Amino acid sequence: MAQPTNTFDTYDSVGEREDLSDVIYSISPTDTPFLSSAAKTQATAVLHEWQTDSLAAASTSNAVIEGDEATLDASTATSRLSNSCQIMDKTVVITGTQEAVDKAGRASEIAYQIAKRAKELKRDMEATLTGNQAEVAGNSTTARKFGSLGAWVASNDDLGASGSSGGAGNTASSDGT
């Protein structure tokens, strides 16, 4: 079927309004299972320290005779561990005009961009925490870095024939052959 001659349709029109959804769909995954499940505490210095302790190995021969004098067991000191605090950022700059104009999908550009950067920062933290980054103390020209999971796993790993485990966060593991 053909259009009648001189039919004015949407292909000829100049003033059609756009059909733009007022929803912005995030298509990037934002799950951070390691970061979300990790215990959190407040660091009050650039070097955060804590102590660990362990029990003596279990013994199946722990038996004494009745009335025997007690033998004193050795005590061990706690272990002191530390990790540097790493500074991460995601920045936003929006002009006053951009904030003022009518936008689709968001009322405030600055609020939208801050929320987006927060999700990106959380993903950066997850990727770094679960990576293999050695601790760096830093100085006025070098950024501090925390020792990530790969640098803390000191045993029970498989890194190949010539690989080496991390240790106490300050040595990254290395893959072997």
Higher pLDDT, 14 or 121: 121
Q: Beta partners for 81?
A: 50
DSSP 16-65: PPP---S-----S----HHHHHS------SSEEEEEE--PPPP-S-----
The parent domain of residue 127 ranges over 80-153
Q: What is the value of pTM for the model shown?
A: 0.75
Residue 17 lies in a domain: no
Total domains, the chain: 1
| Average confidence (pLDDT) over 55-75 | 92
Q: Please give the biggest Cα pair distance in the chain.
A: 117
Residue 105 lies in a domain: yes
Residue 23 lies in a domain: no
Residue 167 lies in a domain: no
pLDDT over 90 at 160, yes or no: no
pLDDT band at 54 (very low <50, low <70, confident <90, very high): very high
List the structure tokens of 138.
């830093």
Residue 102 lies in a domain: yes
Helices (H) and strands (E) in the chain, counts: 4, 2
List the structure tokens of 155.
């045993």
